[in-house]
Structure 1
Amino acid sequence: MEDVARLLKESWTLVESDRERLSGLFYARLFLLDPELRKLFPAEMSGQGDRLLEAIVTATQCVDDPESFDEYLRSLGRDHRKYHVDAAHYATMGVALLDGLRRTAGDDWTLEYDQAWRDAYAAISAKMMAGAQDDPNPPFWHAEVLTHKRLGPETAVLTCRALQHPLPWQAGQYVSVEVPRHLPRVWRTYSVANAPNDDNVLEFHVRTPTGAGWVSGALVRRTRPGELLRVAAPMGSMVVDRSSSRDILAVAGGVGVAPIKALVEELATWNKTRWVHVFYGVRKPADLYALPGLRELVEAHPWLSVTPACSAEADFDGETGDISEVLGRYGPWTNHDCFVSGSARMVRATLRALASDDVPPARIRYDTFGSL
């Protein structure tokens, strides 16, 4: 597997800078091989290729880590059931993927690279299909929007109840969401902002700044109570290890506070001995919408502390600067289990800060929906 991993990463450098062309070639070949597959994708394909390639990159980067490779692909297979993908589709996608890679790389593509991708794709698709087959849950849940609260022009907090079947998520995980009334067959991932509960109610924090995706815009501006969403299987590994006795550091940026809030809510149901330090960074004080709720939890649980910070408000009555910088004023964090949630830029900066504090990478958990 080491040789395969090396060849995958080496060959990826031949196409990485031309992802758009690879995406176009892949989909053109895919729909030529099986025109019926076009019905599984949204009418507007922009962005779909990026998600495909991110999945490929992640798979190739963890193929030499069998445990991560296995769990990531099984969860990806569970998630892809929402697209109604079956075994025959995986075979067709494999042909289209290899054709796209060959044509994008051109003369630099070798038989070794070709065989490595064949072997890797066979393993990838087998694990994805196994994950899909082993999951007893439905491909997605219908969820009724219960509440919808606008927090300024760009942000909304909404709750919805999953119908028909219990939705078994863990605090810190994320799900894919579709707004079928406005954007059928278009999905986007959002962290669940509350701990699991018997009422099957999920909370989402959604922000739609300039350049954000269509789904976020629909959820913030157009969705109303009573509408139905579709929610896919939970994914992500940013969950608390109950067997650990280490204290916890949780770092949130903007709406990245959502999974951190969920983690704290879950900890509130059982934690007695682990100190939990939450750092919550935003640009302006008005963006600290989750702070009142977190402070209520602080009052109820002596093991919890919350440190808010603003990066664009010098007169803020608290910490100022990027949250990764604020983090460095405290600590050390070497012996903590660390959780990081926010934009790709914020996650990168926080990972650097933790690395400079000699926090072992194995103790840092994060999920990012953008390239690091």
Structure 2
Amino acid sequence: MEHTRRPRHGTPERHARTDGPATFTGRVLEVQRRTRDIAVIRVHCPEPIPFTVGQHIPIRSPLAPGIWRDYSPALPPNPEGLLEFHIRIVDGGAESRPLVAASHPGDEWTFGTPRGSLGDVLREYGTELDDDPAPGRHRLPEPDPRDILMIAGGTGLAPLRAILLEAADLPAPPKIHLVYGARTPGELYDLRTVIEMSRNLPNLTVTTAVEKRDDAPLTRPGPYSSHPAAPMPRLGVAADVAVRLHRDGGLSGKTVLIAGRGEMIEATREQLVAAGADPRFIHHDPVAKTTTSREAGRADLD
């Protein structure tokens, strides 16, 4: 998932962000072209970047000088300093096209300060109960944790996948339903990974949603867009599918995480609230104010 920030005229590249200069560097290890427009790029940072799942990190590459792009890692923080980014060519491709089309192992990337708090929802699930309280103390009954509904549009899958992996290590992982949406089946570029995750994580259920059953001739899907155990994708926008599956009062008790382009987030949030979701428990990155409509959720799945 990408956010692009251009430096103002006369502003040095390193100060394109308001939260200080970049402080980390890394080298590209692997570039996987998952479709014509989507690449998965893995990077190694000798000094691991201190971030939390769900955050986005500003990236500067020599392939697009003068431009910082914010991308969300698809892996949780790890001592090895390994990062994975899911990048799609968007908005004409002036910023994202060089990364997708021309990145190679050995390229050096520069990183700025992470920001965002999408993964903070895991805090309420992260405390292990004391089954043997000290004498004179009693453990009060804990309220049942809310199940989590995740709605991913296109490469918005990346931050949600990192949150899923982090949640798997919790003492009592919440039940999670991931609705993963794309325009066509071939654009479900990481389907193999999420299906394998669902087979190994009993708390995870995966549903896929596509707007069209047939791929465009130039989609060029790779092997990660399919899995023999994958269910048939539901037809419709991810938000429509999520509402249909939880229409019987199930949304009001869910914590909802949404990730995708800004227009998709706004349209999805509006639709969920109208269907009964509690807006206090709907989480996503801040988005600029735009005209919200159901049509916005259809085209902006990046």
Q: TM-score, normalised by structure 2?
A: 0.75
Post-superposition shift, 1:371?
Answer: 4.8
> Are 1:191 and 2:72 an aligned pair?
yes
Shift of 1:193: 1.0
**Among 261, 276, 279, the residue aligned to 1:343:** 261
> 4+ residue stretches of structure 1 with deviation over 2 A?
181-185, 314-318, 357-362, 368-372
Q: Distance in 2 between matches of 1:212 and 1:283?
A: 18
Give, as a single letter, the amino acid of the residue that structure 2 aligns with 1:308: T
Measured against aligned partners, the alpha-carbon deviations of 1:310-332 in whole angstroms (never above 9, x if no partner) come to: 11227993310111111111122
Q: 1:329 aligns with which of 231, 237, 244?
A: 244
- Are 2:208 and 2:232, in contact at CA under 8 Å, matched by a contact in 1? no
Letter in 2 for 1:230: T
Q: Structure 1 residues 230, 362: closer, same or farther in 2, change over 3 A?
A: same
One-letter amino acid matched to 1:152:
T
Partner in structure 1 of residue 283 of structure 2: 365
Greater helix proportion: 1
Contact kept in structure 1, 2:118 and 2:283, CA below 8 Å: yes
Partner of 1:217: 97
Letter in 1 for 2:266: R
Mapping of residues 171-182 of structure 1, within 5 Å:
171-179=53-61, 181-182=62-63
Q: Percent of counterpart pairs with the same letter?
A: 30
Q: Show CA shifts across 1:220-250 (max 9, x none).
A: 1111001100111111110133225211111
Aligned to 1:248, the other structure's residue is in SS state strand
Secondary structure, aligned partner of 1:338: strand
Q: Contact between 1:189 and 1:369, CA under 8 Å: does it hold in 2?
A: no
Aligned-partner SS, 1:183: coil
**What are the within-5 Å matches in structure 2 for residues 1-372 of structure 1?**
38=10, 40-41=12-13, 77=18, 80-82=19-21, 139-163=22-46, 165-179=47-61, 181-209=62-90, 211-214=92-95, 216-239=96-119, 240-244=121-125, 245-270=145-170, 272-313=172-213, 317-331=232-246, 332-367=250-285, 371-372=289-290
Kindly provide the CA deviation profile for residues 170-207 of structure 1, in whole angstroms up to 9, marking residues without a partner as x: 1111111100x223331011111111111111110000
Q: Secondary structure at the match of 2:186?
A: helix
Partner amino acid, structure 2, of 1:189: D
Q: Secondary structure at the match of 1:197?
A: coil
**CA separation of 1:312 and 1:345: change in aligned 2, threshold 3 A:** farther
Q: Secondary structure at the match of 2:105?
A: coil
CA contact 2:185–2:233 (8 Å) conserved in 1: no
Paired with 2:214 and 2:197, the residues of 1 have a C-alpha distance of 27
Any unmatched runs of 5+ in structure 1?
1-26, 32-37, 43-47, 49-75, 83-138
Q: Write the distance in 2 (CA, Å) between the matches of 1:189 and 1:370.
A: 15
Q: Is the 8 A contact 1:282 1:309 kept in 2?
A: yes
Count of matched residue positions in the alignment of Structure 1 and Structure 2: 244
Identify if the C-alpha distance between structure 1 residues 220 and 182 changes in structure 2 by more than 3 Å, giving closer, same or farther: same
Give the aligned CA root-mean-square deviation in angstroms: 2.3
- What SS class does the counterpart of residue 270 from structure 1 fall into? coil
Mapped partners of 2:11, 2:251: distance in 1: 49
Q: Indicate if the aligned counterparts of 1:205 and 1:255 stay in contact, CA closer than 8 A.
A: yes
CA offset at residue 362 of structure 1? 2.4
Relative distance call for 1:371 and 1:200 in structure 2 (3 A) is farther
Letter in 2 for 1:204: F
Query: Based on CA coordinates, which of the two structures has the bigger radius of gyration?
Result: 1
Q: Which runs of 5+ in 2 are unaligned?
A: 1-7, 126-144, 216-230, 291-302
Q: Within 2, Cα distance between the matches of 1:362 and 1:235?
A: 21
